[in-house]
């Protein structure tokens, strides 16, 4: 009788166990994704710290200058182009909005503060992530899958010192300079559309630009630029450096997916960190 009862209760136990697994399965997936994200975050932080320590080693200056040319100087034209049309669109939209309330004299203030505080650092970082960040991730990823990074280890050359550290340092130097260029060209673009095309007063526009812009506004914009530089350079280098460890692909496909992930993740983190830094600086 006891054996028969135990056999009858077994399917119910199995059914209960299966039902419990069905209910907890979504939480298992969330937990695994969270643990994986935390692991990557910790690994990226260690990756960044080790690369920054390598900055102060000998013979780093020539490689840093080369990367400043690649990340900074070669991004100048696209930054100026985007900054010009961003300022023109901002001046156009702001003028028509301010005319409705009779405050068109504040056009210079609105254009300047919008660019210096917010749009300049964010759009500059996104454009550099799209142009230079994608190239960095692809280049390092190709070096990884072609085993050239392993060859550097064999020759007792630290890959972090040779490949990663110059790029992160160059990004930290280049981002604020390009942000300043973006702001300047954007203010000129706002002058072009607001004053020359729509007929706003030129003296009022320039006076508002000078009177409304304070040192804190410029400093806050540069702080954002440095934060974005660290994020973009670390994410792009990290994605390329560990492209061979991707679980979803191997070889050339892994490089492509790592490059895509680097750009998308950089843009998302730029917007998230922008809110966080803005809330801390206000």
Q: Residue 146 has what DSSP assignment?
A: T
Please write the tens of the pLDDT for every residue from 199-252. 888 888 899 999 888 899 999 999 999 999 999 999 999 999 998 887 777 888
Whole-number pLDDT of residue 11: 52
Residues 72, 173 contacting (CB under 8 angstroms): yes
- Residue 25: pLDDT over 80: no
Percent of the chain with pLDDT over 70: 92
> What is the average per-residue pLDDT within 172-192?
94
Compute the distance between CA of residue 48 and CA of residue 64 in angstroms, rounded to an integer: 16
Alpha helix (H) residue ranges in the chain = 2-53, 61-71, 76-100, 107-113, 120-128, 134-145, 148-154, 159, 165-191, 202-212, 215-241, 251-281
* Of the ranges 19-28, 95-104, 255-264, the best mean pLDDT one: 255-264
Please report, to the nearest 10 degrees, the dihedral formed by the alpha carbons of residues 99, 105, 107, 109 taken in order: -140
Is residue 2 predicted with pLDDT exceeding 90? no
Listed by start position, the domains of the chain span 19-281
pTM: 0.86
Q: What is the pLDDT of residue 22?
A: 61
CA neighbor of 173 nearest in space, from 210, 124, 225, 99: 225
Which positions ≥6 away from 104 have C-beta within 8 Å? 95, 98, 200
Give the separation between CA 258 and CA 239, rounded to whole angstroms. Answer: 5
In the prediction, which pLDDT does 43 show?
A: 84
If phi over 0 gives left and psi between -120 and 50 gives alpha, with beta otherwise, what is residue 251? Answer: left
pLDDT tens, residue by residue, 238-269: 999 998 887 777 888 889 899 999 999 999 99
Given a cut of 80, whether residue 126 has pLDDT beyond it is: yes
Task: Indicate whether 95 pLDDT > 60.
Answer: yes
**Cβ atoms of 177 and 76 closer than 8 Å:** no
Mean pLDDT of 12-31: 62
Please check whether residue 152 is in contact with residue 162, taking contact to mean a CB–CB distance below 8 angstroms: yes
Q: Is the pLDDT of residue 184 over 60?
A: yes
64-69: average pLDDT: 93
């Amino acid at each position: 009788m006891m054996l028969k009862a135990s056999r009858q209760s077994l399917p119910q136990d199995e059914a209960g166990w299966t039902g419990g697994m069905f209910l907890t399965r979504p939480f298992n997936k969330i937990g695994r994704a969270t643990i994986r994200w935390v692991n990557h975050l910790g690994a990226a932080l260690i990756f960044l710290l080790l690369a920054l320590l390598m900055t102060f080693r000998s013979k780093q200056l020539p490689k840093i200058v080369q990367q400043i040319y690649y990340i900074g100087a070669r991004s100048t034209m696209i930054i100026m182009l985007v900054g010009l049309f961003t300022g023109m669109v901002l001046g156009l939209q702001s003028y028509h909005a301010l005319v409705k309330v009779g405050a068109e004299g504040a056009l210079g203030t609105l254009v300047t503060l919008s660019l210096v505080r917010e749009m300049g650092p964010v759009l500059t970082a996104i454009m550099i992530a799209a142009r230079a960040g994608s190239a960095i991730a692809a280049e390092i990823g190709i070096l990884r899958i072609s085993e050239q990074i392993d060859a550097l280890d064999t020759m007792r050359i630290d890959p972090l010192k040779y490949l990663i550290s110059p790029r992160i340092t160059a990004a930290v130097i280049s981002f604020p300079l390009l942000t300043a260029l973006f702001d300047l060209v954007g203010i000129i673009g706002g002058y072009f559309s607001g004053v020359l095309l729509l007929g706003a007063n030129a003296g009022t526009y320039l006076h508002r630009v000078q009177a409304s812009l304070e040192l804190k506004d410029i400093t806050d914009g540069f702080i954002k630029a440095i934060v974005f530089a660290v994020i973009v350079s670390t994410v792009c280098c990290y994605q390329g450096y560990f492209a061979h460890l991707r679980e979803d692909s191997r070889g050339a496909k892994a490089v492509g997916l790592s490059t895509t992930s680097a750009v998308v993740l950089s843009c998302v983190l730029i917007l998230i960190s922008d809110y966080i830094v803005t809330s801390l600086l206000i």
